[in-house]
Every structure is written in C-alpha cells, then in structure tokens.
Amino acid sequence: MESFAIVLCFGILSLLVALLLSMSVLKKDPGDSLMVKISQAIQKGASAFLIEEYKTMSLWIVIFAAVIWLIISPYVALSFVIGALLSILSGYLGMAIATRANGRTTQAARTSIGEALKVAFSGGAVMGLTVTGLGVVGSISIYLFSAHFLSKIISPLIVVTGYSMGASFVALFARVGGGIYTKAADVGADLVGKIEAGIPEDDPRNPAVIADNVGDNVGDIAGMGADLYESYVGSILSGIILGYMAFGLQGIRFVYLIAGYGVLSSLIGVLFVIFTSRGKINPQKALNMGTIVANVIAVLFILYLSISVLHRIGAFVAIFSGLIVGLAIGFITQYYTSGKPIRLIAKASSEGGAATTILSGMAVGLQSTFLPLIFIGVGVVIAYVSAGLFGIALAGIGMLATLGINLSVDAYGPIADNAGGIAEMSGLPEEVRERTDVLDALGNTTAAMGKGFAIGSAALTALALFSSYSKAMHLSSMSLLSPYVMAGALMGASLPYLFSSFSIMAVSDTAGLMVEEVRRQFHEIPGLMSGKADPDYKRCVAISTKGALKNMVLPSVIAVLAPFVTFFAFWKFGKAALGGLLAGALIGGVLLAIFMANAGASWDNAKKFIEQGNFGGKGSEAHRASVVGDTVGDPLKDTAGPSLNILIKLMTTISLLFGPFLLKLL
C-alpha cells in the first residue's frame, strides 16, 4: 500500500507543478492590445470548437457506456466514463494554457529567444505534466478502489480496462476531429494565400489565418494530449495485466512504481529546461539536455526498482530495450524529416515542380518505415527473451516512462507556431519573427520525432494488449494456415487504409470549402488585399468547425464496431478471426502511420528549407511546388497518421474487454 501511495503522490505533484507553471505563464506580459486581441480570437475559436466536439462525443460516450453496463458491469461502465472525462480534461487544460502562452511567447521574443523558449516550453509542460499526472492518478485510483471494494464482484483489472477504453474512445474522436479542423484550415490558407495571392504565411489579410492558428491548438495540443493520455494509460494497463499473470500483485506494484518514478524523472527534466532557458541559449541544446537528464534519471530508478521489487535484472533489460527503441525511432525520424532527404525533396521541387516533390516525398516516407520496424522487432525479441510476454509490456512502458518531458517538448511546438503567427499579424519587427521561426522550425522536428515515438510505443503497447487478449480468449497460438485467422488478418490490414481514406477525404472536402471562402473574400471584400479592410475570420472558423464535427464520427465508429462485426461474422471461429484482425491491423497500421508521419514532415521541412533562401527562396517555382507537397502531407502527418496509433489500440482494448463475454454467447 505504501508503494501505491508514493506513486499517487508523484502524480499529484505533477499536477501541482503544472498548476504552478500555468500561473507563471499567465503572469507574463501578454503584449500590446492588438496581440491580445489576436490571442483572444484564437482562444475563443479553440474553446468554441472543443465544446461542440465534446457535445458530439458525449452522445457516443453515453451510448457505449450503456452497452458496457448491460453486457459487462455498471462498475466498468463508470470506469469507462471516468477515463473519457479525464482524457477530455487533459486535452482541454493543455489547450487552455497553450492559447494563452502563444501571445506571451511572442512578447517574450521581443527580449530574447531564451525568454521566448522559457514561456513556450512552460506552456507545453502544462500539457505534459497534466497528461502524466492525470494518467497515473486516474489509473491507480481506479485500481485501488476496485481492489478494495469490488474485488469480490469483478476483477479490478477488468475495471481498469474500462478506464483505458474510455481514454482511447475520446482520443480517437479528438485526434480525428482536431486533425480535420487544423489541416482543412491550413490547406485552405496555404493554397489561396501563398500560391494564388502570393502573400506571406500568417498574413492578417488571409481570412483563414485565425482558423489555422486555432487548428494548431485543437489538433496539435488538445488532440495530441488526448492521444498520448490514452497511450500512457494503455501501456500501464498492458503492464499490470501481464504483470499480474507473471508475478501476481507484485507485478502490478512494479508497473505502477515504474510509472510513478517516470513522472518524477520527467518533472526533473522539465524544471531543468525551464531554469536553463535564459539569454542566448541554443533552444535545441536546452530541450535535448532536459530530455537526456530525465531519461538518465529514469534509467537509474528503473534499475533500482527491477532489483529491489522484482529481483530480476531481466525486467530492467526489457524496459531499457524499450527506451533504446524509442530513441532509435526518434533519431531515424529526425534524419528523414530534417536531414539529407529534405534537401533531396527541395532539389526535386526546383527541378520538376509539384509532381517530383510529391514523388520524392512519398519515396522518403516509404523508405523511412524499414529501420523503425527492424528496431521494434529486435526490441520485442530482447524484451521477450528477458521477461517473457510481461517484458513486451515493460518495453512499451519504458518507451513512455518519461512521457512528461517528451510531451512537453512536443507541445511547445504549436505554441511557438502560434507565436510566429501573432508576430506576423501584429506587424512586429522582423527580428521577433526570426526568433519565433527558430522555435517553430525546432518544433516541427520535435513534433515529427514525437509522432515516431508515439507510433513505436503504440506498436509495443498494442502487441502487449494483443498478448493479453490471447490469454483471455485461451488462444495458445494462431496459425496463418487457418483460413479464419488469415481472413481476419487481411481484413485487419485493410482497416487502417479505409480509416485513413475517410480522414483524408474529410480534410480534402472541408479544405475545398475553405479555399472557396478565402477566394470569395479576396474578390468581394473591397480593400482587403490592400490592408484597408478586415477579413471575416469567423466564417472560416465556422467552416472548419462544421467540417470536423460532421466527418469525425464515421472513422471513429469503424474502429468501435470492427471487433464486434468480425467476431459475429465468423461466429464459432470468431475469436481466431478477431485475433487475426488485431494482428493485421497492428502491422498494417504501424507501417502506414510511419509512412504518413514521415512523408508529411519531410514535405513540410523541405518547404521551410526553400523558404530559408535555398533553390530560389520564397516566391520561386520551387517554393510553389514545395507548398503543394506540404499541403498533400498535412492531412497525412496531422490527421490520419496520428489517429492510427489510437485505432489499433482501441480495437485491441475493446476485444480484450468484450471478448470473454462474447465467448459466452457461443
């Protein structure tokens, strides 16, 4: 009990530090009246969208909770709702501070890049520490309550599974909805503003510019927060299930201690970055050092816990293998999205236009899938040899042990992006925009690395949950020679493609409406292009909101219904076919997610490389081609790609929870 209390304290401490950082950010100078006006417009747009999104989502939460209540247990249904609510809360709180940190980051950039980094990172750290704090506090509270009061009625592990499913359920809606919103606005703003009108990015004359900045928050802050919240909770779930099977209650205790001390390590890393972000410090160096400090401390804690709690060095080896795989995927992603490949794409833009830009970016994305899968495969083997199936779960936990600092680094990027937009729209001196552009460019790289990291952790967590499903359904093995397993695997491998199709088409349709509206305003509002009249920003915000809310439901429902449809379609052979479905979705989803994330980021950074003055710079033919490539990549890297992580885990969690109860119907 003392161990659980320590973990709970670490989670609460994380939330308290997040609160203090929020207060610190809000005390910063918000800038002049124009900057405040722009920042408030972004705040109101983001808040209005999230409220509407949550209203739409709440209906489906109630429906699914009712199904869980009737089929499984009211306690699991309640746990599901709590998981959903905490997932919503983690995303909303992070967004609320991010939309207030953006203008303050711009104002800080007037002083120095170090001060701007400190404000932007503090805003991002609120998200990172809130997600891990709520994740640990929520999971361990649900477990302790059900273990003490419900253990004679239902297994506490089943109750915690419901909690994890609630987090995944919300995350899928939030990622898809936020992704559609942000990329529809971004594509519309770029195609008409940059290519047709020839005006700079974030120019206040562009009617879609506020919607674009709102999208950065609802997609890359709120959506990402909900996404990684469910990844974190899912990794803990897989760990305690397989830990209990391997070591009983001691296995559960070990997993929660790893999570708790990981939170503490992240806290130290976050504070290290904040206290060293001063003067002319190199932002890349500051963020890297904070991450390294957190990971080194976490490794020492994990080694101590492996020896003192489980008395098995194999557990440490499994967790350490997860950390190494995560770092390897991060560095591989960094190479493909900011190294030599982006120069090749930029060169292709100058030589062959948009077609060769797209072809070269696709080639980079496809090539980038190979090494991460090799590392994941090797990591799985090492983890399994070291600690069995429990080792695979531990590898996933190891990859997310320092999520607090990793997510803080990731979340700071959209804040820096917004800060640059506010600087442009406010007409601040060029040196201010240059400082925010440095932070923004670094944010693109950290975001790409974060996506690669999330995909790797999703693969390991889904594999661990799949192992738990096999145990729960008494599947000792699944032969590919079985027509039922193979049919399920083929169906599962195709699901990520169907899901991505709906997501990308939603962005395309909504972006088309955005393009028409921006063109209309350019042509019909007198004095807009000369800067003598203001555009109708609200109209563009409304288009993105309506498009996202309308199109986010179908892809999400596919993920929820697929396990049930597969199980009942094959009836007597349903559990084998469903196992095949989960395996196929895991392999197909991970490959497709890596391809889309890296191809999209490489197109984006190739465009930025050209904008720095290479191959003709801004306004050149190469720049126009690179904008087209960036536009194609936007829905891949920020809508469909990140959502696939949640897709494969949600289907596995649903199968794990409902599978044993469905078997009783046979």
What would the pLDDT profile of 412-427 be if each residue is shown by its tens digit? 888 888 888 888 888 8
DSSP code, position 32: S
> What pLDDT, on a 0 to 100 scale, did the predictor assign at position 278?
64
pLDDT of residue 280: 62
Q: How confident is the model at residue 536 (pLDDT cuts 50, 70, 90)?
A: confident
3-state SS class at 89: helix
- Quick one: pLDDT band at residue 369, thresholds 50, 70, 90? very high
Res 257: pLDDT: 96
Confidence band (pLDDT; 50, 70, 90) for 1?
Answer: low
pLDDT of residue 49: 86
Q: Is the pLDDT of residue 449 over 80?
A: no
Percentage of residues in the chain having pLDDT higher than 90? 46
* pLDDT band at residue 155 under the 50/70/90 scheme: very high
Per-residue pLDDT at 496: 95
Confidence of residue 388 (pLDDT cuts 50, 70, 90): very high
pTM of the model: 0.90
Q: At what angle do helices 574-611 and 313-338 cross, to 10 degrees?
A: 40
Which two three-digit tokens encode residue 631?
A: 């536009």
User: At residue 442, does pLDDT exceed 80?
Assistant: no
Which residues does 655 contact at the CB level (< 8 Å), separation at least 6?
469, 563, 567, 578, 582
**What was the pLDDT predicted at 296?**
92
Task: State how far the Cα of 448 lies from the Cα of 600, in Å rounded to an integer.
Answer: 9
Range among 235-244, 515-524, 637-646 rated most confident? 235-244
Distance CA(606)–CA(604), nearest Å, equals 6
In order of 495, 575, 614, 647, the CA distances from 491 in angstroms are: 6, 14, 45, 14
The whole-number average pLDDT for the span 41-55 is 87
201 vs 181: which has the higher pLDDT: 181
Residue with tokens 């290519």: 195
Phi, psi for 267 (deg, rounded to 5): -60, -45
Among 214-218, 255-259, 459-463, 647-651, name the most confident range. 255-259
| Integer angstrom CA distances of residue 621 from 44, 186, 194, 614, 617 | 37, 20, 12, 12, 9
Q: Is 648 within 8 Å of 590 (Cβ atoms)?
A: yes
Residue type, 28: K
Contact, 361 vs 345, CB < 8 A? yes
Asked whether 630 and 604 are in contact (CB, 8 A), the reply is yes
Do the beta carbons of residue 102 and residue 419 sit within 8 Å?
yes
Residue 305 predicted with pLDDT over 90: yes
The neighbour count for residue 633, using CB atoms within 10 Å, is 29
- Asked whether residue 447 carries a pLDDT value surpassing 70, the answer given is no
Q: What is the pLDDT of residue 390?
A: 94
Query: Helix-strand-coil percent breakdown of the chain, rounded to 5?
Result: 90, 0, 10
Which residue has better confidence, 443 or 55? 55
**pLDDT tens for residues 539-551?**
888 888 888 888 8
Burial of residue 453 (number of CB atoms within 10 Å: 0-12, 13-18, 19+): buried
How confident is residue 529, by pLDDT bands cut at 50, 70 and 90?
Answer: confident
Residue 282 confidence (pLDDT) above 90: no
For 598-623, what is the HEC assignment?
HHHHHHHHHHHHHHCCHHHCCCCHHH
Residue at token pair 């379609």: 569
Torsion of CA 580, 582, 588, 592, to 10 degrees: 170
Number of domains in the chain: 1
The two structure tokens encoding residue 286? 């500051």
Does residue 445 register a pLDDT over 70? Answer: no
Q: Do residues 160 and 143 make contact, with C-beta atoms less than 8 angstroms apart?
A: yes
Range 169-205 burial, b when 16+ CB lie within 10 A, else e: bbbbbbbbbbbbbbbbbbbbbbbbbbeebebbbbbbb
Q: How many residues does the chain have?
A: 666
Q: How far apart are CA 599 and CA 409, in angstroms?
A: 21
DSSP type of residue 199: P
Distance of alpha carbon 287 from alpha carbon 270, whole angstroms:
9
Answer yes or no: is pLDDT of 341 > 90: yes
Beta-carbon count within 10 A of 365 CB: 27
**146 pLDDT more than 90:** yes
The reported pLDDT for the residue numbered 178 is 85
- The answer to whether the CB of 156 falls within 8 A of the CB of 131 is no
DSSP state of 369: T
Q: What percent of the chain has pLDDT over 70?
A: 97
| Cβ within 8 Å of residue 643, ≥6 positions away | 172, 175, 176, 179, 499, 500, 503, 555
Report in angstroms the alpha-carbon separations of 283 from 12, 24, 110, 609: 29, 20, 16, 19
**Domain span at 179:** 2-663
State both tokens at 336. 């493909």
Burial of 56 per CB tally in 10 Å (0-12, 13-18, 19+): middle
Please, is 2 exposed, middle or buried when counting C-beta atoms within 10 Å of its C-beta (0-12, 13-18, 19+)? exposed
pLDDT(510) > 60: yes
Average pLDDT over residues 558-574: 90
Provide the angle, in degrees to the nearest 10, between the axes of the packed helices 113-149 and 283-305.
Answer: 30
Burial of 482 (0-12, 13-18, 19+ CB in 10 A): middle
Which is higher by pLDDT, 218 or 263? 263
Average pLDDT, the chain: 89
- Residue 455 — very low, low, confident or very high, per pLDDT cuts 50/70/90? confident
| Nearest in space to 203 (alpha carbons), one of 424, 387, 454 | 424
Alpha-carbon span 101 to 18, nearest angstrom? 14
Is the CB of residue 190 less than 8 Å from the CB of residue 203? no
What the block records as the tokens of 48 is: 């209005």
Q: How confident is the model at residue 301 (pLDDT cuts 50, 70, 90)?
A: very high
CA–CA gap between residue 364 and residue 381 (Å, rounded): 27
List, in order, residues 6 or more apart from 634 with CB less than 8 Å away. Answer: 183, 186, 187, 507, 600, 604
Check residues 433 and 497 and name the one with the higher pLDDT: 497
Residue in 404, 396, 402 with CA at minimum distance from that of residue 132:
404
Here the tokens at position 301 are: 């804690």
